[in-house]
Amino acid sequence: MMRPMSRNRVALVLSVLAIGVAPVAAAAPSCHVQAKVPASARTFAKTSILSDWREYSSLDEAPHLVPDSGMWAQIWQDHGKNQSVAIVEPGQDFWMYTRYCFDSQGALESVGLEIRTPLGWGYRAEGYVSGGGFSERSSAFFNLKSGRTVPKPEDVAQAPRALRPVLYLHQSELPFAPLLTVNVQARKHTRVASEPDPTESAAETAGTPSGN
C-alpha cells in the first residue's frame, strides 16, 4: 500500500537537486524533473479521467486525485520566453513525474521523466525530441532511499508504460491548453467544461511510494 503524500512533498520532489543524471548535450536544454517550480507557476488539476481540467491558485488548493486517473500540472516561464511544464500522475503501482521544456515558439525541445514505485526503486530518464520522437540522453534505475543507481529491477515489468514519456509536441497539445488562454481575471471561475466544485481541498492525497 502507498502512504498519503502531502502537497508540500509533491512540490519538494519536484524541487530537489537531480541525482545521478549525466551531463546533457548542448543540442537542447536540460530538462530535469527535479527543477525548482517557482511560486509564480500556474497550477492545474484533473481529478479523475471523467473530470475536466481546472485552474487553481496553488498546488495546495488543488483537490484530491483519483490514483491512476487524476493529474496535477504546473507551467511557468523558464528562460526568456521558454516555458516549462511539470505534470504529476499518482498511481497505485507507481507515481510518475514528467517535465516538458518548450522553446519560445511552443515546440517541445526536451523532456525529463521520473517514476517512483512502492517497491523501493525508481527510474529517471532525460532526453530531447527529434522527428516527433523521444531520444534518450541518460537514464538510470535508482534506490529510493539512497538515490544510488541500481541494476534494472526484476519487477520493472509492473510499470512498463512509465519508462517512456507521453509527448506533447507543441504546447497547444497539452491536455489543459484551452485554459492557458483564459483571461487572468477569469481564471478562478473558468474551466474547459462544466464540473462541480470540489467539496474539499487536498492537503494530502493517496499514493506515494513507501520508503521515501
Q: How many Cα atoms occupy the beta-carbon half-sphere of 124 within 13 Å?
A: 22
Q: Under a CB-based contact definition with an 8 Å cutoff, are residues 5 and 210 in contact?
A: no
User: What is the C-alpha separation between 64 and 81, in angstroms, rounded?
Assistant: 32
| Radius of gyration in angstroms for the set of CA atoms belonging to the chain, rounded to a whole number | 17
How does pLDDT run across 187-203, given as a tens digit for each residue? Answer: 554 444 434 444 344 33
Q: Kindly state the cell numbers that stand for 95.
A: 507515481
Phi, psi of 82 (to 5 degrees): -70, 150
Instruction: Determine the structural domain holding residue 34 and report its residue range.
Output: 3-208
How does pLDDT run across 85-109, given as a tens digit for each residue? Answer: 999 999 988 899 999 999 999 999 9
State the total domains in the chain. Answer: 1
Q: Tell me the pTM.
A: 0.73
H-assigned helices in 57-185? 177-180
